[in-house]
Structure formats: C-alpha cells, structure tokens
Structure 1
Amino acid sequence: MAKKIVFQGKGHVELIDFETGELTADHVRLKTTCSLISTGTEGICFNRLFAPGTHWDDWVKYPFATGYCTVGTVIEVGSEVSGWKIGHRAFARVVHASEHLVKPSQLFPIPDSVSDTDAMWSALSMIGSMVLHTGDIRLEDDVAIIGAGPIGQMALRWCVAAGCNTIICDPVLMRLEMARAGGVGAVFQGSVGEFGSAIEGFFGAKPRIVIDTTGIASVFSAALPLVRNFGTLVLLGDTGDPSQQCLTPDALRRGVRIHACHVSHETSDWFESRIHQQFYRLLNAGRFSIDGLNTHRFLPHECVDAYSLTSTKRAETMGVWFDWSKSSVP
C-alpha cells in the first residue's frame, strides 16, 4: 500500500494509505526517494494563513494532499511510453507520497552528477529563476533581496549566476550565512524598514531592482521606497491576503514599477524542462550551490513533527525534507 501526507484540517496532518491504481499504457510509476517541504507555501496551507475568497481559499480543500518537490526512481513503464526506463531518476512537481502514477511529461531527468537531495530543490529553483526571465533583471544589475528563506536563497543564486551585484536582508543570522555561501555581495541583519541605508551604503544609490521574497503583506509597502526612480519591485512571495498589500506614493510619483513573478509564468523560451536543465548545469559547474541548505530530515511517519517545526520554529530551518527511501518508510 502506498502512503501520502495530507492535511486533514487546519494544523492537522496525517500519513495515510492510498491506492495508486493500475499502470496504464501512457503512464510511468515513480517510487519516491525524497521530497522537500516548501515551508512558505505549505505553511500558509497548513495553518490556513489566508483570507476567505482568495485563490488559497479555493485551492486548500480537505483532505488536502500537500507538496510539490519530489525526486524518485522509475520502477514501472507503460507500454506506450518512450524515453523512460526502469531505474531512471526524475524530478516531478507532485505531492509528498511514496509512489506516483505520472505522465512522462510530468517527469524531468536528473543527471547522474546531481544528488537526489540537491534535485529536490528543482521546483523552488524554478520559482527563483523567474526573477531573471520575467522580472526585468539585466546582466550585472544591482539587486536588493528581501527575505533569505528558501525562495530568497534560490532567487539570490540565480542573480549571482547572472552576474548581478546583490545584497540581502533577513533578521535571521543563519539564513544570512547561507546567503553568503550562495555568493551574495553583502548581508543586512534586520528589518526591511531598516534596510534602506544598508542598500544605499552598499550600492551608493537605490538599486534598480528590489525583490520581495517574503510573502508577508506588510513588506510590500516597506519595499517600494527602496527602489530607485523608474526601477522595479519584483514580487516573488505569494501572500495569503493580497488585500493587505498597500500601494505607496512611490508607484505614481517616482514611477516605481511592480512586477509579480510566479512559477506558472512560463514562456516559449523559458519553460520547466529548460529551467531544470539550466539548474543542473549550474550545479555541475559549481555556480549554484545547495550545500548546507538541507537542515532537517524526517521520515514520512514523522510528518506531525515536521510541520510542527516549520510552523513554530521556521526561522531555525531551511531545507526540511522527507526521506522516502525503502528502508525508511514503515
């Protein structure tokens, strides 16, 4: 019997049994080896930190199968499937579960040189990559990043790979040390309200690009004044209550633009398979490091402890993941 992690209500998570079903000719069976918790998105879902009537409210219905960062091994291949063989490793944006029946189009091959626990960051890396392609960032731009959580770490590493000059703000020292390991030019430990002087001290002026990765509604109005005239505030974090994100005079009086980026913003020349390939290429070239980001490992039956940790002590975590390897799943 396969197992998956589901939210049964606000603050209530369980590991349950389920049937994956019979393999069809056009599907592949994937056995999960590891899956990463998206602590921001899943935290909003788990604790219902969203307003009624939002897209979150439409999405989170119980029982709610959670997660979207899974790595596994192909263990069965449908008769009409080509390009995939038993033993191939793949990344897929599917929920936390021990097995999956998926279409080949949902799978992305992982090079032998990339570990499972690095590859499970592929979806968060994809989100971070959107700041480059759809966020109006140029080669060697000055970029200030607010928030050094998992999405902030990914956005930072893409910006560094693009040759940008970067500074990042977060109140948590551990996160800033991880940003240093990711190649950031400077760090500021404190609140976004105090970030302005550090930014101008580092760049010598306001930056053209500020990225808000926090998903905290109140940060939006504090971030707008940090951008130079006619610059861009990139929203990469998705808040649970967008009605609380308030404009300031900076948009109208100084021409500050607001550009929202989301994992769904694929284009004809920047799409999921290409993004994952670039991510793996940068990992292999030593230009994008996941080293040190995986901080907490849990077995699937420890899911209550995992989500308790990410809810009550999130600042002490970064990469919180489930080990689904054969010897670990009861």
Structure 2
Amino acid sequence: MKPVRGGREMETLRIVFTEKQKVEVRKETFDPALGQTEILCAALCSLISTGTELQCLRGVFDPDTNWSDWVKYPFYPGYCMVAEVLEIGPEVKGIQKGDRVFVENSHSQYFKTDAKHAYLLPQHISAEQGVWINLSKTTQLGVRRAELQLGETVGVIGLGLLGQLVTQYLYLSGVKEIFAIDPAESRLQLVHERPGIHLLPMDAGKAHEEINHKTDGRMLDVIFDITGHPAVLAQATRLVKPLGRVILLGDTATPSEQGMGRNVVSNSVSILGIHAQMNYNGWNHPEMAALFLSYIAQGRMDVLPLNTHHYSPSEAPQVYDSLVQNRSSAMGVLFDWTKLMGGSEL
C-alpha cells in the first residue's frame, strides 16, 4: 500500500458508523507529522469484534451506562488491528520502520499513534494470529477472575469470539470438564473436540437439565456468561452449585432488563465482573499478550480456524449488514487492508 499525500495532509479510508444502523467507508485526511514518540502505520488486517461493534451499530443502550457514554455518532468502530510501521518519531525505541505491530486502533487504512500503544509482533506470528491479541487479553482476564482450581467443572455460555478463546484457556487451566453452551451448532463446531469438553447446542435456559444429568446433580463450579444478553445472567446463576461463581464477561447494554436469578442468595452464588482494561493479580496487558502469543507459538492455542471470513474494507457496509442479519454464521471476520491497493477500489 502506498500512502497518498497532499501537502501536509495524508488521505486515509476509515469505516464509520455515521448513525444507528448506518455504515460508510469514508475518505478522510489527517496530518501525518509525527510527535517525538509517535509512529505512522499502514493497516494490514483488522478483526471485527462482532458482539461489541454490532451493539455499537444498533445503538440501543440504557442511559448512564458504559455504552451510552462511549458510543457517540459518528462512531469509529474497531480495536483489533495489525499494521506495518511506515515511519517513526525520533524518540521511538524498540520499533523500526517495516515492523508489524498490534494496536487497539479503529478500522483505518493509515493512522498514527503513540508507540507506547503498539505491541511489536514476533516474526513467527502472522497478522491473522496477532489481530486476536486484544480479545485474548480480555478473555484471559475473565479466566483469571474465576481463580480456577484443578478439577473444577466449568461452563461457557456463548461461543462467539470471546467464548472460543475462553474455552481454549479453560482447557489449558486444568479444569475437569467444560460445558460449551450455544444454540448455534456452527459455533460449537469450531470448538476443538477434546476429552472433557461437552457441546450443548441449546440456550442457557434449556441447559439446566442436561448439566444436572451429566454432573449427577452437582452442577458447575463456575459459569461464564459471555453473551451480553440481559436474560442470560439469571439463567446462568441456576447452572452453578452452592457457592459457585458466575463470571460476567459480556457487558449488557440494557442492565435495566437484567436480573440475577432467584437462587443467588439462597445458594450463596458469587457474580464476578471483569473489564477489559483491567490488570489482574500482577499481570499487565503486555505480559498477557506475550503469554497468549507463546501459547500460539507452542501450538497450545489456535485462532486461525476461527478466521472464517476475509473481506476488503470497501465491502464494510455489506459485511456489517450481513452480520446484523445473522451473526452466528460467521466467527472471525477480517478486513484485509492490503486489498485496497492504495485506495483504488473506492
């Protein structure tokens, strides 16, 4: 990709939600002059965080929530990007021109950012693997929040992007059994078939009888609610044993519709939330990213089969419309920015 410059300005293509339910690919300009610690980047690929981004596109939020405070239109979606470094500021250390970096940047063809926000990708990690770093940290935080013990029995409700990663982390964590719960069989088919993993093609409300049967009435030690759906929390609390833990890794946009369930107090159930920006028990974000990439390099985690769709960014309006219509038919949806050929497609 060759950047197009005019005078002191540089052209870039950006995906933008101009208003609720409306997506455009816009040509914009920005000043490419770099600060002392900034880098100029060209996007290679970016991953759609389907749950979060579609909620931002729908624009249905309770007032006074994280969602209503964050999403203002026009809104620039995306925070999972691998890019090539085109230029560096004079005080940038550890990153050179030509390096590939992961950044939590919106879906943009060219951009600049402070180097402290960029994570240098090792040579043996592909862009299609590295683009998962942000979600890998979010899910790693969720698994850490559960403070799992060897031999525990755990459930995961929602096998989207985060649910797939949580399931892989759980298998590495020494749990005895994992119950993966999702009504979409296409999602369950992407879960690695391994001993101790039970695939339940149903919603959480219907999973109680099956889990009760398979655990001989003991139920689960831990359940992860990754759906963000307000009705699921109450269903999740019924799936754990007394003193069980519910990990909320999906933040509902309408908490006014969310209930705890009728047995939280009587069964002394713990409901534990975790936010993606947190550090936890001494682990910071660079360390969690490095751990994830080490698991990838060792073959102990695998995200490449989760990348089910690749598109040019010029197709963004149609891509988001398709996801709104049926999100369960896709998993990792990537924008390949190298297909733009310097923006000539548009």
**Fold match (TM-score > 0.5):** yes
Q: Which amino acid aligns with 2:265?
A: L
CA distance in 2, matches of 1:82, 1:11: 41
CA drift at 1:135: 2.5
CA drift at 1:248: 2.2
CA distance in 2, matches of 1:268, 1:207: 24
Equivalent pair of 1:156/1:184 in contact (CA under 8 Å): no
CA drift at 1:313: 1.3
Structure-1 residue corresponding to 2:316 = 303
CA drift at 1:7: 0.6
CA drift at 1:232: 0.3
CA distance in 1, matches of 2:318, 2:196: 32
Structure-2 residue corresponding to 1:135 = 146
Equivalent pair of 1:297/1:323 in contact (CA under 8 Å): yes
Please tell me whether residue 11 in structure 1 is matched to residue 17 in structure 2. no
Structure-1 residue corresponding to 2:183 = 171
> What are the ranges of 5 or more consecutive residues in structure 1 without an aligned counterpart?
none
CA distance in 1, matches of 2:79, 2:215: 37
Q: Deviations over 1:189-218 (max 9, x none)?
A: 011111122223334421110100111000
CA distance in 1, matches of 2:339, 2:36: 26
CA distance in 2, matches of 1:140, 1:118: 30
CA drift at 1:184: 6.6
Q: Please list, as runs of the form range in 1=range in 2, the aligned pairs for 1:1-330 lying within 5 A after superposition.
A: 1-21=11-31, 22-164=33-175, 165-180=177-192, 185-204=197-216, 205-267=218-280, 269-325=282-338, 327-328=340-341, 329-330=343-344
SS in 1 for 2:16: strand
Equivalent pair of 1:182/1:289 in contact (CA under 8 Å): no
CA pair 183-34 structure 1, distance change in 2 beyond 3 A: farther
What RMSD, in angstroms, separates the aligned Cα atoms of the two structures? 1.6
CA distance in 2, matches of 1:6, 1:268: 36
Q: How many residues align?
A: 330
CA distance in 2, matches of 1:296, 1:244: 33
Q: Deviations over 1:257-287 (max 9, x none)?
A: 0001221221362211011101100011111
SS in 1 for 2:189: helix
CA distance in 2, matches of 1:268, 1:128: 15
CA distance in 2, matches of 1:75, 1:326: 18
CA distance in 2, matches of 1:73, 1:198: 48
CA distance in 1, matches of 2:191, 2:281: 31
Identity %: 30
SS in 2 for 1:50: coil
Q: Which amino acid aligns with 2:60?
A: L
Q: Which amino acid aligns with 1:191?
A: D
CA distance in 2, matches of 1:157, 1:49: 31
Equivalent pair of 1:13/1:304 in contact (CA under 8 Å): yes
| TM-score, normalising length: structure 1 | 0.96
Equivalent pair of 1:50/1:240 in contact (CA under 8 Å): yes
Q: Which amino acid aligns with 1:132?
A: V
SS in 1 for 2:30: coil
CA distance in 2, matches of 1:273, 1:183: 32
23-32 or 265-274, which moves further after superposition?
265-274
92-101 or 190-199, which moves further after superposition?
190-199
CA drift at 1:126: 1.2
Q: Deviations over 1:34-78 (max 9, x none)?
A: 000000000000011322332211111111111000001111010
CA drift at 1:186: 1.1
Task: Give the 4+ runs in structure 1 shifted more than 6 A.
Answer: none
Q: Which amino acid aligns with 2:139?
A: G
CA pair 110-202 structure 1, distance change in 2 beyond 3 A: farther
CA pair 326-282 structure 1, distance change in 2 beyond 3 A: same
Equivalent pair of 1:35/1:322 in contact (CA under 8 Å): yes
Equivalent pair of 2:45/2:128 in contact (CA under 8 Å): yes
CA distance in 1, matches of 2:198, 2:30: 48
Bigger Rg, which one: 2
